[in-house]
Amino acid sequence: MNRLVWIAMVVLTTLPGSRALFAQNGVVNAGDVKQVRIGKGQVNLTTTNAYVQISIYNDSVIRVRMDRQPLGDDFSYAVIALPSPGSATIKATNDQINITTTLIQARISKRPFSISFYTPDGQPINEEENGLTTSWVDNTVTAYRKMQPEERFIGLGEKNGPLDRAGTAYTNWNSDVFGYRTDQDPLYSTIPFYIGIHHGLDYGIFLDNTYQSDFNFGASNNRFSSFAARGGEMNYYFIHAPSVAGIIQAYTGLTGRIHMPPLWSLGYQQNRYSYYPDQEVLRIAQTLREKKIPADGITLDIHYMDAYKLFTWDKNRFPDPAGMISKLKQQGFQLTVINDPGIKVERDYEAYENGVQENVFIKYVDGQLYSGQVWPGWCHFSDFTSEKGRNWWKQQLKSYVDVGVAGFWNDMNEIATWGQKMPDNVLFDFDGHGTTHRQAHNVYGLEMVRASYEGARAAMNKRPFILTRAGYAGLQRYSAIWTGDNRAEDDHMLAGVRIMNSLGISGVPFTGMDIGGFTGNAGVGLYTRWMQLGAFLPYFRNHTAVNTKSAEPWAFGEEALEVSRNYINLRYRLLPYIYCVFYEAMETGMPVMRSLAINYTQDARVYDNRFQQQFQLGNAFMIAPFESNQQYGEIYFPPGGWYDLYTDEPIAGGQIRINKLGMHELPVYVKAGSIIPMQSLVQTTAERPNDTLYLHVYKGDTANAIIYYEDDGQTYDYENGGYYKRTIRYDHQLILDKATGSYTSKFSNIKMILHGFGSLQQVKVNGGVQPIQSSGISFLSPISRFDPQGGYATTAVCQVQALSIKNSADRIVVEF
């Protein structure tokens, strides 16, 4: 009998009345369109079971909102853009509504309701899966999309797994995952945005819903991809542009882009859990200087506090914080301190007493303050989803600013508590849209860093450095992020690269990981390889846990020290280029660290497991990381010409090469046609380099350009024209366009260093003939220690041509 009932149900689901059967079994879809209201740039629909609003944001973006009840206030913590429909058109017939922009055609079917997206000439970009469309099971709403043959999926923020996420599934629920596995999900932050790729077309989908969400890219099925939220609206933005870079630009146009970070935060950062007392902090700083290891930052973990209580200092370990910080600044160091959201429940503790008095802590539904146990013991937590709670936090931060703290490391903000199970019935203000922990959880970290950034900026009147462990889409407006409590293992180093590449695809350019690994003890080879890699990451932070071995560069022997110093030196010489890439991130949303999938989207080899860790720093450099114990490695060179950074060997693109790997050099290559500004070596960004900008130009067959950018590196004067900016273009000649902005460049001279130009003897500069000099340069210093496998190491030398010119001309044209 049970079998007959099952067969009858299968038959019934294929009949026109099957939607009623779905409803009886707890599945509800939108049903048929009953009413249509068309306004400027917007369509509002009432269906059998839902209310729908479709809005044109711009030519690249169409938004879809759906709910089973009338749509509520239009509120988002992530999206800061307003709709601008422009010349888009909306046309309706009896069966269908078409929305057309210059880049997207959205087709809305009425019976039943569904929405699919096409190019203006009718090619399918992303279609709803017939028969499933969008539906609810209890409070969970899911959109089912048809998977195209060989479709790839990239992005989704801080996620483990492969670059191409086809065949996988993920959950977004910010989690404290100490020493996580390289296949673990979820991790610390939520960015529900991914990019789909098929048939030469690219699209993005951003699900702006802060409840727990689930994304399925064909896991356990061969029919659909899907995205779902376990509460709230189906609220997503469909994005289409001619390239992945265009999609990232459109997405960050919605959710915002970074401000220019303080220049010092791009230098090397020496961290540990924990450095104390104050004399140990000063000893670390002094040793960095004595050993000529450039560095700009030192970070204090939780042991600087009195019994882990926020906004306090342990008076025995740090009797004079202001005096210590002053001594650090005299040596060119800035101090970052850790901030957790938990405020200890303790009488006469100022932050606790004031927080209770100001009524800023989150509560249960019955009005009792919520308490969770973390480092100080039982704690209350500020409601960062309320303006009142954020303002209270800003006031508390002033105590740090007053003693000279320049960086604020926001940790444990998932919210993390012992037991990892905050009750659902804890209430949050949600900026006047009162809600429970279920909706507020994923956005809590974002609003904490918002309060930290806004508070520190106001108190310091210059750029603060903000770092976070948790967050939500849009976190790039306020903060850098690192990949949390990783392990000192080779697979974690490479997983960190993939996670950071994914964060970049997902709109977050300022990213890092704990160099050397947080838990466990790296061997000499792994530590050295990780330090080399760190020199090419946006945030270069060395960090290890309590009860591990010391992880400063001198702790692994002289050879590891020399290699580490070599790459830190290179990082500091590259700071003008890195700063230009951060400026590009501010202007366009392009990440600093770039998966090859951004520039070589349709090239199947970049998704190969062998090559998926390769990445670009800006557009000029390509880095190929490998496990520390590998002696040989396969490297893929995408189409176009490349140069070996260390030897200037030209390498044709479109090929795979097997390279011998060694401890002294990380495989790094330069794209032909690149323009790379560099400076003289400094020990800290507080030190002024010499007055010559070294402009490295690599010969290529395709045109290229870079926007060279400077400002004071500290203030927000650049927002009012206080910058120096000029476009530098290469297309068989080099053109430096007229500079704009009121800031005076720190470089009065330019030394052009030409790579790959053969036996060139002279050039024309603004029409006048100028001889050039041939010379050899090295990007690394010799390693003196004996290498048992290869004898004494020698340093590769590039044979180049160079010429010097003044940086005073409005326009400079160099003809080769």
Q: What type of residue is 45? A: L
d(CA 196, CA 713): 37
414 is catalytic: yes
Q: Which of 129, 411, 447, 584 is catalytic?
A: 411
- Quick one: which of 541, 513, 511 has its CA closest to 334? 541
Is the Cβ–Cβ distance between 158 and 188 less than 8 Å? yes
Is the Cβ–Cβ distance between 132 and 152 less than 8 Å? no
Compute φ and ψ for 619, nearest 5 degrees: -100, -10
Question: For residues 743-782, b (16+ Cβ closer than 10 Å) or e, as one string?
Answer: bebbbeebebbbbbeeeeeebebeeeeeebeeeeeebbee
DSSP states of 50-107: -EEEEEEEETTEEEEEEESS-------SS-------TT-EEEE-SSEEEEE-SS-EEE
Query: For residue 160, with 0-12 CB atoms within 10 Å meaning exposed, 13-18 middle and 19 or more buried, which class applies?
Result: buried
Q: Tell me if the bond preceding 262 is cis, omega within 30° of 0.
A: no
Specify which residues 428 forms β-bridges with. 435
Euclidean distance between the first and the last CA atom of the chain, given in angstroms as a whole number: 87
**CB atoms closer than 10 angstroms to residue 719:** 11
Beta 655-660 vs 33-39: how paired, if at all?
unpaired
Compute φ and ψ for 233, nearest 5 degrees: -80, 160
d(CA 265, CA 512): 12
Is the Cβ–Cβ distance between 106 and 62 less than 8 Å? yes
Rg over alpha carbons for the chain, rounded to the nearest Å, is 28
Q: What is the CA 161 to chain-centroid distance, rounded?
A: 16
Q: How far is CA 28 from CA 31, 47, 140, 213, in A?
A: 8, 12, 10, 18
d(CA 513, CA 481): 8
**CB atoms closer than 10 angstroms to residue 444:** 26
d(CA 474, CA 79): 7
Q: Which of 185, 233, 340, 414 is catalytic?
A: 414
d(CA 265, CA 411): 18
Q: What is the CA 320 to chain-centroid distance, rounded?
A: 36
Q: Which of 164, 185, 447, 485 is catalytic?
A: 485
| Residue with tokens 């600087």, as numbered in its chain | 304
d(CA 415, CA 175): 8
d(CA 579, CA 566): 20
d(CA 174, CA 414): 5
Residues marked as catalytic = 411, 414, 485
